[in-house]
Structure 1
Amino acid sequence: MKPILFCILFMFLSMVGFSQEFRIPNKKHSDKIQFKLINNLIIIPVEVNGVKLSFLLDTGVSKPIIFNVLHVADSLKFKEDDTIFLMGFGDGEPIKATKSIDNIVKIGEVINLHQDFYAIYNFDLNLAPRLGVPVHGIIGYDLFKDLTVEINYAQRFIKLTEPSYYKYKPKRKTEKLHLEFYNNKPYINVKVNINGKEIPIKLLIDSGGSDALWLFEDDSLDIHPGDLFFHDYLGHGLSGSVFGKRSKVDGFSINNYHLKNVNVAYPDSSSVVKAKNNKGRNGSLSGNMLKRFNVVFDYPRGFVSFTKNSFFKEKFNYNHSGIELAHDGVRLVKEIDDSHSKFRSPNTQNRSAANSQTIVIEAQYKYVLKPAFVIAELRKNSPADLAGLQIGDLILEINNKPTFRFSLQEITNKFYDDVGKRLKLKIERSGVVLNYSFVLKSPY
């Protein structure tokens, strides 16, 4: 009996030991998980208390968050512990969040038996309409601190490995950088070229942002947009909408990797007050830059490595239409019902041989639910704005093709097409169907 009792006790202690953090209880101590890359953001499958959800993988967050949780609250069976207030980008007020303890989280074969979450019950914080897929939460530091995380943007998978089992394979064209941490967030030192001047800067690595670079204006360092810029909506943070200027920098360097004519956003100072608490921070390095590399994050050893991939030479483009789309539920669409339509040959009496081969189709129709896409933001004086389009317009067709045939991402990509291309939109506004046409133009 003693050996059996010892074995059971050992198993129990082992479970207690690894249950406080993420572990991978398989022989390889590693697992590969496919992800969706949408608008330069990584969406991974996460199971919380047995409920299958989708999370944004975000190196820029120190606390895991679940939002719009009222949809699944009963299934998640949260154990509420405390209430806190979270502050993020935006010029609004802090957001109330309820801490939930001892949640079981699985990502592939990776598991944590005692994960804390911060549940936000504010329905305005919903990423799904802007991304076109359900997103139930955000996870970052808690996963990265326990595991070595390899992100393969080109093949759309992440590989999670327990650090002691990860074998780093140095490659000739891989750049390895030291990570610095502030409030559990990772920073690296890189260089940016503005108006011919190379400037050393420190950036937060923010995989939860879709832009390439965000920079904080700083006259002492000559970090500013110059004369060529345009005002735009930059995104929605925890504390509200973020606006600012968009421009380009001459160049950006991660050690020996150099990119030219890189998109950059300069957020309004009122939106980034909290971000500037780290006095050494000059901005963020985000998804449209990160996706050009396959990246290995090794928080336990304090480094990150970059290896360029097939996205590296992709041109940095801006939205040339001025339209920001959002998924807005569903709409009824009339379609031919092939299963009930009738095909028959006509009465051939008193008809010529030439007409005797005619086939008559008696079409029957059905109404089906299809995704609806609306204009959520519209840049002032953009081609779409000047053409007469408005926020709230429901887009029915683009270039004579029904929008329900496309994903939100596919439609958005058309707005980033080459300058000079004409787009034709059929829209519905207050029950009236209207047609618009405009030519894509550079925003500055």
Structure 2
Amino acid sequence: MINNVILIPVEVNGLQLKFLLDTGVSKPIVFNFLKASDSLQILNAEKIEVRGLGNGSNLQALRSSHNVFKIGEAVNKDQAFFAVFDPDLNFAPKLGKAIDGIIGYDVFKDFVVQIDYKKKHIKIYKPERFKYKNCKKCQSFDLTFNYNKPFLSAKVDLESKKNIPVNMLLDSGSSDAIWLFENDKKQIVVGTNYFTDYLGAGLSGSVYGKRSKIKALKLGEFVIKNPKVAFPDLLTVSAVQSFYDRNGSLGGEILKRFNCIFDYPNSKLYLKPNSNFRAPFSYNKSGLLVEHSGVRMVMEIDPYNNPTISFSDRYHVNVSGVIKSNYKYQLKPTYVIYQIVPDSPAEKSGLLIGDRIVAINKKLTENMSLDKLNSYFFQESGQILQIKVDRNGFERQFKLTLKSPLE
């Protein structure tokens, strides 16, 4: 689990890769293709174009068929996937971990898949061996499919109207909570309290829009109060909105509040709330967006390799032993600011895009994961962050006070 999304190991034609598990994707996509090209066999390939969310153009890709995919003990000996050429299509900096591709529908279509977000565990069942156990806190939902994408009926309460029915894509590959597509006829409109933001990276480029909160999301009898919502730019989503008759999507920040059982063969979804269910929704209160930017060599003291010096007598000092270096060299991650929200605490503090964050509150970021670093930005309003950065080879210190963008 990284930033509300799931990474799983997938073996492709004998090569171990790491894939993002995305219920909103039809065919697997390998977009770390150039790195793996020496080892990964691309079988029976034909050129095609791929279109996804974002403000860019279509992607050139290869469609490869008759591949062997293995996840745990589940094996598909006739799997197709898309291999994308664009070297700029790289989600690793945003996640802080290497990721080789995306997989979705083809994992779920033949199995019953149970995702336990709290235990970070996935179980895959053959449908004929799966028996659903009734429980008081559980609910079942009917799924519909459009071009192999799963949709769920829900209701939302907005400022202007309550109980608006919406057709939502189940999108475990999105780290957000809810996306809604503005629609005047259905009275799906952004409220008066919002801010404009970068929403993320799609297959066809960056996605921008407005962020806000709504009064409630209703999934059957489950009511999730005051969830976060993003309203993506209409031009970005116009194609998928009309193509799939879709009003939005439910992402990882909603799904992680449940133990989820996806039964695609019977078009069912089972949800059981976990301890995350009532967790509050929080925004990045710094205005900083940070990404992993490679590694650097760091020299550290090695406590297990101390200098050894021996003396022949107390009057004549002769080094008869060998002085061992008590330092070791390690590769440590570096993190760089890639976006700053206008009029945010970060912008007002003087921080700039391209600054490399060295430390936060006197703690070195080289010892943090990207998730840990980002957690500082989601603390309570009023918290003060002391941020040391490397700017063009010179270290500088900045101070900012966290403030919710919706205050």
- Regarding TM over 0.5, the answer is yes
Q: 1:206 aligns with which of 163, 171, 174?
A: 171
Instruction: Quote the Cα distance in structure 1 between the aligned partners of 2:179 and 2:255.
Output: 13
Alignment of 1:79-228 (within 5 A): 79-195=43-159, 197-228=162-193
| Corresponding letter in the other structure for 2:394 | V
Q: Distance in 2 between matches of 1:167 and 1:366?
A: 54
How far off its partner does 1:313 sit? Answer: 1.2
Equivalent residue in structure 2 for 1:308, among 263, 268, 273: 273
Which of residues 233, 236, 258 in structure 2 aligns to 1:271? 236
- Deviations for 1:277-297, whole angstroms, at most 9, x for unmatched residues? 246311001100000011111
Cα deviation per residue 1:336-395 (whole Å; 9 max; x = unaligned)?
2334544899xxx9xxxxxxxxxxxx9954543211111122111111111011111111
Distance 2:113 2:96 in 1: 26
Q: Tell me what 1:330 maps to.
A: 295
The question of whether the paired residues in 1 share the 8 Å contact of 2:67 and 2:77 is answered with yes
C-alpha contact (below 8 Å) 1:423/1:438 kept by paired residues: yes
Gaps of 5+ in 2: 315-323
Q: Are the aligned partners of 2:285 and 2:378 in contact in 1 as well (CA < 8 Å)?
A: yes
Distance in 2, matches of 1:82 and 1:279, equals 26
Matches within 5 A, 1:57-68: 57-68=21-32
1: CA distance, partners of 2:11 / 2:45: 21
- Residue 434, structure 1, aligned to residue 396, structure 2: yes
Does residue 1:406 correspond to 2:368, yes or no? Answer: yes
RMSD, aligned CA: 1.9
Cα deviation digits, residues 373-430 of structure 1 (max 9, x gap): 1112211111111101111111111110110111111111111111111111110011
Encode CA deviations 1:166-201: one digit per residue, 9 max, x unaligned: 111121111111111111100011011001522111
Instruction: Map Cα deviations across residues 115-157 of structure 1 (whole Å, 9 max, x no partner).
Output: 1110001111111111111110111111111111111111111
Using structure 1 for the length normalisation, give the TM-score.
Answer: 0.86
Q: 1:99: how far off?
A: 1.0
* Unpaired stretches in structure 1, ≥5 consecutive residues: 1-36, 350-361
Structure 2: distance between partners of 1:259 and 1:343: 63
Q: What CA deviation, in whole Å up to 9, does each residue of 1:246-303 have, x standing for no partner?
A: 0000011111111111100000011112211246311001100000011111111011
Q: Is the 8 A contact 2:27 2:81 kept in 1?
A: yes
Q: TM-score, normalised by structure 2?
A: 0.93
1:210–1:286 CA contact under 8 A, matched in 2:
yes
Conserved 8 A contact 2:146-2:244: no
Paired residue type of 1:147: F
The reply to whether residue 73 of structure 1 matches residue 40 of structure 2 is no
Count of residue correspondences: 394
The equivalent residue for 1:289 is 254
SS in structure 1 of the partner of residue 227 of structure 2: strand
**What letter corresponds to residue 257 of structure 1 in structure 2?**
F
**Contact 2:48/2:60 (8 A) holds in 1:** yes
Counterpart check, 1:372 vs 2:334: yes
- Distance, in Å, in 2 between the alignment partners of 1:401 and 1:343 is 32
Please say if residues 44 and 66 of structure 2, whose CA atoms lie closer than 8 Å, have aligned partners that are also in contact: no
Alignment partner, residue 349 of structure 2: 387
